Chain A
Amino acid sequence: MAFLRERVPLQIEVFEQLAKEPIPVHMKRWWYALGGTPLICFCILLATGICLTFYYIPEPKQAYRSVQYITERVYFGWYIRSMHKWAGNLMIIAVLLHLFRVFFTGAYRRPRELNWMVGCGLLFTILGFGFTGYALVFDQLSYWAAQVGTGLAAKTPLVGEFFRRFMLGGEVVGEGTLARFFVFHVGVWPSVFSALLGIHIFLFRGLGIADLGAKTLSPGEARDHDAMLKSGRYFPFFPNHAMTELVVALAILIVLTELSIVFPAQLGPPADPLNTPAHIQPEWYFFFQFQLLKMFPEHLALGLQLVMVVIMVFWPFIDGWMLRRWNRAWLSPCFGMAGLAVFLGLTVKEALHGYVLFHDWWPKLTGSLL
């Protein structure tokens, strides 16, 4: 430590103080580790993504073959790819669970409204990761998912056609599309994600973790860490909560590894622009939107989605307005339950409709176990 004190022009105590951030005692419940789970997944995605980039070639003729090469020939390539895939899925699940937990505990309320909005931004960035990453495989399903996805983007009023061309880098899914999706997947989204994550962490460290049942500090009010820790209603971040996150991180690694062994990332037939597959389906996290599109005319479905996004992003302010007007705290959870029911309902409906899903999983499961 003396070595560092002499050479680093910073007060080490500041870091020690930061590491001992008082954490509300309710955080000892395991499901409060969900906020850290996406970060752990992000680290896994970053590490595996870098490994995949060593071999991946974002060019239509080579993309599929390079993924095939990674899966079949590169040492541990199948494992790295499967981890990347499952970490991506788990990240989305964790972010959604984190979002619902924050929503139902009201942790988005004043003064954390902006952090909720940043969190929404993180969710959309992750979905962007999913969309662009899925297309990079360039097998039949991913090709057609990109085709359908960009086609839908074109329906957005005013900017749709520009947006579609911007994503495609041409008229059809091809060289330009792969190059752009690749740049977004490995460059743009990680940068945006890192920036938003930085802001997210800064805000929640600055404002403190929402203390359920305790008074909220007014802006500028000093947080007396020592007094808080002595109160028994708080415990230090390090080592107590850090240890919890470490257990979670190891558990995530184990679960992802097991998933990679039992359900390794598959590779369908190569992209064939002339042969539309019988079942085009996006990844499960877009099932909700996909169902909306099936149920309503395109413009209405897109409009609905846009309204939902706006409501979701600005919910802390809408909720505040409702509280001021009606003073009914239960209203927000009711809306939340309704939204969750619609989301889950449509997702399950699409999953059931995609008979392929079950049709496909069972042989994979039995095949890999046998």
Chain B
Amino acid sequence: MSETPANPVPVHDDLKWKKVLVAIAAILFFATMVSIGFIEMWRLKPREKSALAYTPADSASCVECHQRLTPGIVSDWMLSRHSEKGVGCMSCHQAESNEPDAYEHYGSVVATVVSPSDCNKCHAQIGHEFQISHHSKAAQFIGSLDNFLGEFIEGRQAAVSGCMQCHGSAVSVTKVFADNTEFTQDTGQLLERTKTALSQAGAQGLEAKVRELTSGAAGLGQRLLAAKALPSDKAVLQVMNAQDYASDTQREDNAKRIFYGLLLAKGQELARADLKQAGAEGKLAKKVKFDSDGWPNTGIGRINPDLSNGSCTACHSRHKFQVSMAREPESCGKCHLGPDHPQYEVYNESKHGIAFRANRERMNLEAHPWVVGKDYNVAPTCATCHMGASRGQPSTHDVGKRISWTLRPAISEKLEHWEAKRSAMQEVCSTCHAKQQVDNFYRQYDGVVTLYNEKFAKPGRDIINALARTGAITPSPAQMAVPGVAEAVKMLGEKGLNPNPFDDEVEWTWYLLWHHEGRRARHGASMMAPDYTQWHGMFEVAHRFYFELVPQTRKLLEERVHEGRITEAQRAEVLKVIDGVLARTDHAWLKGLSPDQKREQMKFYKDRYNQ
């Protein structure tokens, strides 16, 4: 054991020498750590300048403070593409002192409500598409039966927390100034006043705006200024002529854009006049108070304090502005669901919805661009068909651009330029389906809508109109144009009865037939949901028609004759309508089964159930 190694190892074994090596390595390691520190400092230089990474300088203090106060907002924004691109708080919230909801906030002038006008500064094309869409006008439903139901039959708060959260509210706001004086803008009322002003004086006083809106359409500006009244985009369209824009659709789109531009300009003019009259022009508010009926609200047609229509956050959510969220069917399902318009449920039942759920991770929902057939193939969402880019067309925020039928009213109608709209939709379908399949699908869909229209909706409407004409029911204001109804209303008025669309049971029955069940059937057919088309749809329509609408009408007529409100002749007039309807061949089943039908049914139950 004491022998020396046979093959001595030619290395230094001095522990002292190793300690020196350790010291040198430690110093070098420390130096590399210092260099890493410097690199990190250099990397974060912009962050130091503006408090946080990717925060533009003008928004640094907002982020710093709101990170403590409302961290959710800041964290959402940090995850957004806006933060990646350097779009900060002030890019959207910065305001001018005269804006209806502007106030001083730690040295800056800001507005809480970010309206589409703010978004349009960067997303002009999308903003334009949205403004001409049906979505943007969703809040302007005051005259509708739905609004009457929500606001008056159910009650205001049901409308505020229900209807308006989808349709949108009018956001009224009160400015509180340093001297504690206040100025309130009733936004809904301002909108009505603006419309009245445009319908009375046209575009008078809005010359600069007219020039801006009509650039490229020679002569249109003069014609608009000469028009005495411009109460709607349809009035603007009437002023236009065939040369103004390349096509009918372009002309219509531009009529909407021009009317909207004039409305905003006129509204702002009136709002400024109100401020001036109240002695508040140029005064900077120290805070603002929102009417709780109108705010918070992310309804898609919200009427904002600047009178712009809509709320981008309805689909994109606030601060994260997630494009993928807007592309998810759930996003549309916030409003498009339920007994009266179950598009979300219909989609879920369809093969499209099933394919989506099975392949959600292959949908590439964050992609930009997001072209069906290129960036994803596995399934369409609502956004794919109604808005998405395809191989043949760009994306659009005008959700009605590809819809050919309106399934909303009691009797469905094809929309203006429905052929173009349908062919746009068919182009999207063609990404995955051959022409014959698409054509035949549309034949099936048209078939259901026509069946509903002809067999139940038009007869139902004729019965209800006949009741209104005879005065057996107090009619809905929408029926006033029906011949004979005006006289009936007058006669009822003499008896102290006013028009009322919901005070008779038969009117509720009719409403449920078309507004709930009829729509369910039509929506089911439009998006390939068999159960909604049949059991939740046409089956319910048929039951409601044969066993509620018709019997209730007959019973009501008897009661009204008994009360002396209508005569026997008037009762006979309504019964004639009913009899006329039921005598048609499509209602012939009421007379009983034909021998062939009877034989078929007996055979079926015997074969299948031995009964």
Contacts and interface: CB of A to CB of B under 8 A. Distances in A.
Interface stretch (A121-129, A191-199, A252-260, A332-340): A252-260
B218 interface: no
Interface of B: 1-9, 11, 13, 15, 18-19, 21-22, 25-26, 28-29, 32-33, 35-36, 39-40, 43-44, 53, 78-79, 324, 361-362, 364, 366-367, 375-377
Contacts of A272: 364, 367
B361 A175 contact: yes
B443 to A, nearest CB: 32
B25 A79 contact: no
Interface stretch (A6-14, A181-189, A242-250, A312-320): A242-250
B455 to A, nearest CB: 45
B9 A28 contact: yes
B32 A257 contact: yes
A26 B79 contact: no
Contacts of A61: 324, 361, 366
Interface in A75-125: 75-76, 78-79
B5 A233 contact: yes
B3 A231 contact: yes
Given A251-B25, A272-B364, A273-B364, A243 B2 contact: no
> In this complex, which of B18, B43, B364 has the most chain A Cβ atoms within 10 angstroms of its Cβ?
B18
B22 A73 contact: no
A61 B361 CA distance: 8
Given A60-B361, A231-B3, A254 B11 contact: no
B18 A244 contact: yes
Given A29-B9, A257-B29, 6 more contacts: A79-B36, A232-B2, A243-B22, A246-B22, A254-B32, A261-B39
Given A29-B11, A239-B15, A76 B36 contact: yes
Contact of A250 (B3, B19, B26, B376): B26
Interface string A28-70: 1110000000000000000000000000000011000100000
13 contacts: A26-B9, A60-B361, A61-B366, A78-B43, A172-B361, A228-B1, A231-B1, A243-B21, A254-B25, A257-B32, A257-B33, A261-B35, A274-B376
A140 to B, nearest CB: 12
A257 B39 CA distance: 12
Contacts of B36: 76, 79, 257, 260-261
Contacts, number: 95
Contacts of B18: 240, 243-244, 247
A46 to B, nearest CB: 19
A230 interface: yes
A28 B18 CA distance: 11
B13 A235 contact: yes
A258 B32 contact: yes
A273 B362 contact: yes
B15 A243 contact: yes
A220 interface: no
Interface residues of A, number: 43
A256 to B, nearest CB: 9
B29 A250 contact: yes
A331 B596 CA distance: 94
A188 B18 CA distance: 38
Interface of A: 25-26, 28-30, 60-61, 65, 72-73, 75-76, 78-79, 172, 174-175, 213, 227-228, 230-233, 235, 239-240, 243-244, 246-247, 250-251, 253-254, 257-258, 260-261, 270, 272-274
A227 B3 CA distance: 11
A22 to B, nearest CB: 11
B1 A274 contact: no
Contacts of A240: 13, 15, 18
B25 A25 contact: no
A174 B361 contact: yes
Given A228-B1, A247-B21, A253 B9 contact: no
Contact of A65 (B3, B5, B79): B79
Contacts of B5: 25, 232-233
Contacts of A273: 361-362, 364
The 6 closest A-B pairs by CB, nearest first: A250-B25, A243-B18, A257-B32, A28-B11, A174-B361, A231-B1
A25 B9 contact: yes
Contacts of B324: 61
A274 to B, nearest CB: 6
A213 B7 contact: yes
A78 B53 CA distance: 14
Contacts of A30: 11
A142 B432 CA distance: 30
Contacts of A227: 1
A65 B79 CA distance: 9
A257 B31 CA distance: 11
Contacts of B7: 213
B109 to A, nearest CB: 30
Contacts of A231: 1-3
Contacts of A247: 18, 21-22, 25
A200 B571 CA distance: 101
B37 to A, nearest CB: 9
Contacts of B9: 25-26, 28-29
A28 B361 contact: no
Nearest to B358: A171
B35 A254 contact: no
A261 B375 CA distance: 36
Q: Give the residue among B3, B6, B7, B32 with the most A Cβ atoms within 10 A.
A: B32
Contacts of B2: 230-232
A342 B79 CA distance: 48
Nearest to B374: A274
A246 B19 CA distance: 10
A99 to B, nearest CB: 23
A174 B468 CA distance: 61
Contacts of A25: 5, 8-9, 13
Contacts of A246: 22, 25
B40 A243 contact: no
Contacts of A270: 366
Nearest to A240: B15
A274 B6 contact: no
Contacts of B25: 246-247, 250-251, 254
A244 B324 CA distance: 55
Contacts of B79: 65
Contacts of B376: 274
B372 to A, nearest CB: 11
A310 to B, nearest CB: 36
Contacts of B11: 28-30
A79 B42 CA distance: 14
B364 to A, nearest CB: 6
A60 B22 CA distance: 45
A72 B53 CA distance: 9
B367 to A, nearest CB: 8
Contacts of A250: 22, 25-26, 28-29
Contacts of B43: 78
B4 A28 contact: no
A167 B364 CA distance: 23
B29 A253 contact: yes
B362 A274 contact: yes
Given A28-B9, A254-B28, A274 B377 contact: yes
Contacts of B8: 25
